[in-house]
Structure 1
Amino acid sequence: MAPHSRIILVRHAQAEHNVTFDWSIPDAPLTPLGKTQATALAPLIPHLQREVDLIATSPLTRTVQTTLRAFAPAINRLGGPSKIFLVPEAQEVNAVPCDTGRSRSQLQHDPDFAGLDLEPLTEGWNSKSGFWAPDEGVVAERAAWVRRWLRGRKEGTIVLVAHGDILRRIVAGPAGVSGGPGWKNAEVRVYRFDPGYVEGEECFLDEKGVVAAAGGWDVTSTEAEVLASEGKL
C-alpha cells in the first residue's frame, strides 16, 4: 500500500456529446477540438511527463484518446500503450449511450485501443447494472473502490484520466459530493490521501491544487440535466 502517493486526476478533453448534448452518441469520442486540447495539454505538464510512474484511464473512447495524447511523452518513457492500465470502475456514471463503453470484442478492432491490455474489461463491465449501475449509492461505492485501488498501488505518482461525474464522486469527502465548480475539459488536479482517512475503507483524497487545463467548461450529462431542470439550458 502506498498511502503517500501523489494522485493526478484528469478529466477528458472535449467530446462530441459535450457539444451537441446528444447523449445517444455511442461511447462518445473526442471532437477535433478535443483532440487538439488533449495534445496541447502534454507540454503544459512537463514535470508530470517526467515524474509519473503509472498511467490509468477509464476505458471509454474519449478518455483513452485523451490519455494517449496528453501523456504521450510519459507513455513512451514507461514502455508504450501496453503499460496503460484500463480501470473500468472509473467509467462515467449515467446509463446513456455516450457514457457507456464498448465490449472487448469491439475494442479489439479499434485503432485507438491498439496495444492496450483489455484484460480488465470483464464480462458485463459496460452493462450499467449491478456494481456498474448509475444508482447514487452504487456509484459512491465504485468511487471508493477507485480510491482503494489507487491507495493499493506502490507507485509514487499515479495519473487517472476519467470523467466529470465520476471524478466528483472520487474526490468527494466525508460531507459527500461537493457542490462547487465542476471540471474543465482536459483539466489536471493533484491530490494526496487525507491522513485522517487513509487507512479506512473510504480513504478520502485531499486536493492540493489545479495544475493545468487545456479546455473549457463543457458540461457532463448530469450537469446538463440539472441546468435543464433549472431552465438554464
Structure 2
Amino acid sequence: MAPTIDIVRHAESYHNLIGSEIPDPTITKRGERQCEALRHKYPFGDKVAYIISSPLRRAIETALKAIKPLVNDAVELILLPELQEINASPSSTGSSKVALQFLYKGLDLSALSDDWHLKGSDTPFAPNVEKVEARAKVARNWLRMLALKLVEDGNEDAHIVVVTHGEFAHWLTDDFIGVDYGRNSGWYVCEFRSYQFLKLDAPENEDVSLVETHESLRRRGVDPDKPYVAPDGRDNARLKRIASITVQIHERVLADREFQQQQELETRGVVPDEESDEAWVDIDEDADKENKGSAGTLRLHGA
C-alpha cells in the first residue's frame, strides 16, 4: 500500500468575485464556510502526515482553516512554490517571503527563495507550457520523495494533503478532464481528490504519474471501471492541448504587460544601465524639489 496524496483546490477568494487585478487575495466569507464544510467531510485527518500548500494566500488560508485543525499539532504546513497558480496576474502573483513570515506564524517557508514570487517571462514560474510542465514534474517528484520516506518509516497508509489551484491541479495530476475553451479548470472550489503514485521506488529524477484512486473517482460520481473521458468523448490528450492554449494566452498577456511597462519606463526617461543592469532616471527640477533636495538621479531597484 502506498501513501495517498489528497489534492485540494483552494476555497473561494476575492479575485473570484472582483477580478484578477487584486494582489494575492485572501479567501472570502463564503470561502471560509467552504473550508468549514471541507473540514467536516474530510475523513483522513488522523492519517495526515504532511500538509503542503501553494504559497499564495488563498491556498495558505484554505490549508489553515480546512485541514490544519484536523491534524496532529506536530504536522507542519509546508509552502512549495511549484504549486502556485499558472497565470501572472496580480491575483496569482504571491507575496514576498518576508511578507508571508509577517502574516502567518508557524509555517515552513524553507522551500521558498527570496524571489519565489517573481513571475516575469524570464523566471521559472512564468506562464509558459514548458515551464509549467517542468514545475509540475518537480512538484510530483517532491511529493513522491515524501511518500517514499513515509513508506520507509512504516507509514504506508498515511495521507499527504496538497492545497493548490484549479488550473495547476490539472497539470500536477496530468488529468485534463473538465478543461475546455474558456474554462480553465474542472475542479470545484474546496474540492479534494485522492491520488497515489504508480511507482514509488523509481529513480529520483524519473517522472512518475499520479493516479486517482477508485474511492476518489466514486466520490465524485465517476465509474472507475469505465474509460475516463469527457462527457462529449474528448480524451485527455486533446483536452491537454486546450489547456496548453490557455497557458499560451497567459503568456501573451504577460508579454503585453511587460511591453507596456517597458514603454512606460522609456516614456519616463528610464535608461537601462548596461554595466549593472539596473535602471536610473533623471529627475527634473520640480521633482527634485518635491523630493526635498535629493541628488540629480534616482535609482529604481527592480524597475
Q: What residue in structure 2 maps to residue 79 of structure 1?
A: 74
- TM-score, normalised relative to structure 2: 0.62
C-alpha contact (below 8 Å) 2:48/2:161 kept by paired residues: yes
1:210-225 to 2 correspondences below 5 Å: none
C-alpha contact (below 8 Å) 1:10/1:162 kept by paired residues: yes
2-side partners of 1:58 and 1:68: how far apart? 12
C-alpha contact (below 8 Å) 1:187/1:210 kept by paired residues: no
Counterpart pick for 1:120 among 102, 111, 119: 111
Establish whether residue 184 from structure 1 lines up as the match of residue 175 from structure 2. Answer: no
- TM-score, normalised relative to structure 1: 0.79
Q: What residue in structure 2 maps to residue 218 of structure 1?
A: none
Work out the percentage of aligned pairs sharing the same amino acid.
35
2-side partners of 1:141 and 1:117: how far apart? 23
Q: What residue in structure 1 maps to residue 165 of structure 2?
A: 163
What 5-or-longer segments of structure 2 have no aligned partner? 151-157, 180-184, 221-245, 251-303
Q: Find the residue that maps to 2:211 and give its secondary structure.
A: strand
For each residue in 1:103-131, what CA deviation from the matched residue of structure 2 results, as whole angstroms up to 9, or x when unmatched? 02222221xx1221323221221111421
Establish whether residue 205 from structure 1 lines up as the match of residue 201 from structure 2. Answer: no
Aligned residues: 205
Structure 1 runs (4+) greater than 6 angstroms displaced: none
Q: Find the residue that maps to 2:114 and give its secondary structure.
A: coil
Question: Structure 1 residues 96, 61: CA separation in 2 closer, same or farther (over 3 Å shift)?
Answer: same
For each residue in 1:69-108, what CA deviation from the matched residue of structure 2 results, as whole angstroms up to 9, or x when unmatched? 1113334x1426xx11111110111111000111022222
Q: What residue in structure 2 maps to residue 217 of structure 1?
A: none
What 5-or-longer segments of structure 1 have no aligned partner? 214-221, 227-233
Q: What residue in structure 2 maps to residue 107 of structure 1?
A: 100
1-side partners of 2:218 and 2:163: how far apart? 14
Establish whether residue 17 from structure 1 lines up as the match of residue 31 from structure 2. Answer: no
How far apart are 1:138 and its partner, in Å? 0.4
With CA pairs under 8 Å and 6+ residues apart, which has the higher RCO, 1 or 2?
A: 1
Q: What residue in structure 1 maps to residue 278 of structure 2?
A: none
1:132-147 to 2 correspondences below 5 Å: 132-147=125-140
For each residue in 1:15-71, what CA deviation from the matched residue of structure 2 results, as whole angstroms up to 9, or x when unmatched? 111122x111100210110011112211101x3111111111111100011001111
2-side partners of 1:196 and 1:114: how far apart? 33
How far apart are 1:178 and its partner, in Å? 4.0
Q: What residue in structure 1 maps to residue 255 of structure 2?
A: none
